[in-house]
Amino acid sequence: MNKKKNGMLLEYIAKSIPGVNLRKLLKLLYLIDEKSMQQRCIPVTWFDYFAWAKGPVAPEVYNIKQGEFKEFVSCVRNADGKFIVLPVSSDADKPESVFMDLFSPYELNIIDSIIKQYGDRSADELTELTHEHDSLWARTVKSHHIKFDKAKTSDVPVLLQEINGDNEERASIYEDALWNMKFQEHLDRHA
């Protein structure tokens, strides 16, 4: 996973949707990755999502509250008790100059289409969307018999690659991209 790329994405969303709360941000990220998986067999962010009560959640992003991605976004609690995500810099409003080296035009199109389609929706509406009967989250919760009676989180992954189904070609594209991403991480760590 490319932390700088994902941090820039968080900042871009926070800049594009002023006052975005953390739960809504989490849902938008998931929807970006879901759409990318549907269209090109691989996610944009490579975040690991887990089945939590409010839907698929990337814990790393949830931890913005504790300062994760602090180079890109900050998180403050508003009067209603909601965590609001704020961009750290104003560079996020220049996607062509800031993002072109990190995001492909295709990825930017997916990101912008999700922001346009769902940016004015509430976190509750997006939670309902990700909880629809046949959603990947709902299938994961059902197949693992998860009950959110007391605990609101689980360690059960919501596996985006399941969107590819039994299609071997799509699965191969995903596996090749995953291998390349991990290899690039290895190179970056040892550069």
> What is the per-residue pLDDT for 92?
47
Q: Which two tokens stand for residue 174?
A: 């995903």
Q: Which two tokens stand for residue 91?
A: 């560079």
**Model-level pTM?**
0.91
Rounded CA-CA distance 9/7 in Å is: 5
Q: Tokens 């409003």: give the residue.
A: 93
C-alpha pair distances (Å), 145 with each of 41, 51, 152, 169 = 27, 11, 14, 30
Whether the CB-CB separation of 157 and 49 falls below 8 Å is answered with yes
Walk along the chain (191 residues) and give the pLDDT tens digit of each residue. 688 899 999 999 999 999 999 999 999 999 999 999 999 999 999 999 999 999 899 999 999 999 999 999 999 999 999 999 999 876 545 555 666 778 888 999 999 999 999 999 999 999 999 999 889 999 999 999 999 888 899 999 999 889 988 899 999 998 998 998 888 888 888 87
